[in-house]
């Protein structure tokens, strides 16, 4: 069996690592991949959004199954293109991926299907957006409607910051056309959690809970990033909260998408704010989270291949998922300067020593091979996962691995997993 993984981040390395352990013993390919993925797959130099060449490659190589990591190829219609050529592919179709690709589409779905979320209004005109801001006041959240690499949601503590956000998004077009429309919404408080599920459009098969750490600095300070660390399970998602998320968010969304004529297949990711045991939805994503996928995949005991196939063949009701009980903590190591500008090509040392720490698994993100050495090649560079008998041990293992790795300018947060520890200590 031949499997192609589309993407090049830590999420994609973790999924490929999991596929490599399948009893199906698949032959693995990655497009374009990274230095870590190159150890277990044949990396091909086709970018994740080069759909025409990806379809041709899959067709010529007779790839049996393709798995898509990032959102951009999904919103560009990679799944539709593969299906049109009779190729099996896992992911949301273009129309269904609007659940992530357009925040106004997602919010309107939430309103129509009574999914609990922040109150909101949608604007195409900056003057009207600002007049609305003046009416409702701060704190408030301003979001670019389209995709903005996780940076398009701006939490504004003051009215002035909200006006600036409108200027940046709608007038300076910091996110390009993604900012021709904005969603302005109520600012929610509470603790965030990520809830991911496989779905074939009918059955919703939840994964274990997880939690991301978006801001760049410790104690959630500084600008948002794609995610600086994650852990699973997230204690804030109690059994009761889990049931509410399934009943009020996941099932209505999948049923609603089908009713709207956009049947949803793939991974549905809900980013939630939980307060006093009540979950409210911040956003949907049409794919695995990064870095949430890393601890989730590390904890997944079931073979992934039959799950992907069951989603594609729309027989997910036949599948169950087993999870290892050990908590897993993923610390992201990033280039100095990220999420702003940063240098590439720094030589990374200590990878083998870190990988030999018991309970540590490392997934690469922005890495490349240069003259036989692993060098930095992106903002988020490595994901060091610690697995332990409890969250405390998982955190200790992860940081024992992290401390063995070095490159010039490396940056990571020192408090990944702390919220889970604090909650368990309550």
Does 289 sit near ligand GLY (CB under 6 A)?
Answer: yes
- What beta strand segments (E) does 33-88 contain? 42-43, 65-68
Residues that bind ligand AMP (CB under 6 A): 118, 141, 143, 153, 155, 185-188, 192, 214, 224, 271, 282-283
The residues that bridge with 43 in the sheet, in sequence order, are: 30
Residue 309: contacted member of ligand AMP, ligand GLY, none (CB under 5 to 8 Å, by partner type): none
The phi and psi torsions of 140 (rounded to 5 degrees) equal -155, 160
Written as six digits, the tokens of 3 are 């499997």
Q: What is the CA radius of gyration of the chain?
A: 21
Closer CB to ligand AMP, 61 or 191, in the complex:
191
Residue 251 and residue 255: Cα distance in Å, rounded? 6
Among positions 150, 215, 222, 350, the unique one binding ligand GLY when judged by CB under 6 A: 150
**One character per residue 223-252, x = contact with ligand GLY (rule: CB under 6 A):** ---xx-------------------------
C-beta of 58 vs 282, nearer to ligand AMP: 282
Question: Of 43 and 230, which CB lies nearer to ligand AMP in the complex structure?
Answer: 230
**What, of ligand AMP, ligand GLY, none, does residue 292 touch, CB below 5 to 8 Å by kind?**
ligand GLY
Distances (CA, A) of 2 to 51, 58, 334: 18, 9, 32
Which one, 226 or 386, has the nearer CB to ligand GLY? 226
- Alpha carbon distance 348, 351 (integer Å): 7
The Cα–Cα gap between 104 and 144 comes to 9
In whole angstroms, how close is the CB of 146 to ligand AMP at the nearest point? Answer: 11
Q: Which secondary-structure segment (H or E) carries 5?
A: strand 2-7
Alpha-carbon span 171 to 269, nearest angstrom: 30
Nearer to ligand AMP, 50 or 283 (CB): 283
Return the structure tokens found at 333.
Answer: 């190591």
Nearer to ligand AMP, 86 or 340 (CB): 340
Dihedral angle computed from the Cα positions of residues 401, 326, 366 and 332, in that order, rounded to the nearest 10 degrees: -60
| Piece of 138-146, 282-290, 341-349, 417-425 that binds ligand GLY (CB under 6 A) | 282-290
Q: Residue 185's binding partner, choosing from ligand AMP, ligand GLY, none, with beta-carbon cut-off 5 to 8 A by kind?
A: ligand AMP
Buried b (16+ CB within 10 A) or exposed e, 327-336: bbbbbbbbbe
Q: Give me the least distance between CB of 113 and ligand AMP, in Å please.
A: 18
The residues in 200-219 that bind ligand GLY, with binding defined as CB under 6 A, are 212
Select from ligand GLY, ligand AMP, none the partner in contact with residue 279, using the beta carbon and a kind-dependent cut-off of 5 to 8 Å: none
Shortest distance, CB of residue 340 to ligand AMP, whole angstroms? 17
Angle at alpha carbon of residue 100, lines to 99 and 101, rounded to 5°: 100
- Return the one option of ligand AMP, ligand GLY, none that residue 290 interacts with (CB less than 5 to 8 A, by type): ligand GLY
């Amino acid at each position: 069996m031949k499997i192609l993984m589309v993407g090049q981040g830590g999420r994609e390395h973790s999924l490929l690592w999991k596929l490599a352990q399948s009893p199906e013993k698949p032959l693995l390919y990655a497009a374009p991949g990274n230095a870590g993925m190159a150890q277990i797959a044949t990396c091909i130099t086709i970018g994740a959004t080069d759909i025409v060449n990806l379809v041709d490659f899959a067709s010529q190589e007779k790839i049996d199954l393709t798995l898509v990591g990032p959102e951009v190829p999904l919103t560009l219609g990679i799944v539709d293109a593969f299906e049109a050529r009779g190729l099996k592919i896992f992911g949301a179709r273009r129309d269904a991926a609007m659940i992530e690709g357009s925040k106004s589409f997602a919010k309107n779905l939430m309103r129509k299907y009574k999914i609990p979320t922040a109150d909101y209004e949608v604007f195409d005109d900056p003057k009207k957006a600002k007049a609305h801001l003046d009416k409702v006041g701060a704190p408030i959240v301003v979001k670019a409607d389209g995709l903005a690499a996780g940076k398009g949601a701006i939490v504004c503590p003051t009215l002035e910051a909200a006006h600036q956000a409108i200027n940046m998004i709608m007038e300076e077009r910091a996110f390009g056309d993604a900012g021709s429309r904005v969603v302005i919404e109520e600012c929610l408080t509470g603790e965030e959690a990520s809830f991911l599920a496989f779905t074939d459009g009918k059955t919703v098969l939840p994964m274990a809970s997880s939690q991301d750490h978006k801001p760049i600095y410790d104690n959630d300070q500084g600008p948002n990033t794609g995610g600086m660390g994650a852990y699973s399970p997230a204690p804030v998602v109690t059994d009761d909260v889990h049931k509410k998320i399934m009943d009020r968010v996941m099932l209505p969304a999948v049923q609603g998408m089908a009713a709207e004529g956009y049947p949803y297949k793939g991974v549905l990711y809900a980013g939630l704010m939980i307060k006093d045991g009540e979950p409210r939805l911040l956003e949907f994503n049409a794919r695995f989270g990064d870095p949430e996928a890393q601890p989730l995949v590390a904890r997944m005991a079931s073979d992934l291949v039959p799950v992907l196939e069951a989603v594609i063949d729309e027989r997910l009701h036949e599948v169950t998922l087993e999870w290892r009980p050990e908590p897993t903590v993923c610390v992201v190591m990033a280039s100095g300067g990220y999420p702003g500008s940063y240098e590439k090509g720094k030589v990374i040392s200590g990878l083998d020593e870190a990988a030999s720490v018991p309970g540590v698994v490392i997934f690469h993100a922005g890495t490349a091979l240069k003259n036989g050495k692993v060098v930095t090649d992106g903002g988020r560079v490595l994901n060091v996962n610690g697995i332990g008998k409890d969250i405390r041990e998982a955190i200790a293992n992860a940081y024992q691995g992290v401390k063995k790795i070095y490159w010039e300018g490396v940056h990571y947060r020192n408090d990944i997993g702390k919220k889970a520890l604090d909650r368990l200590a309550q």
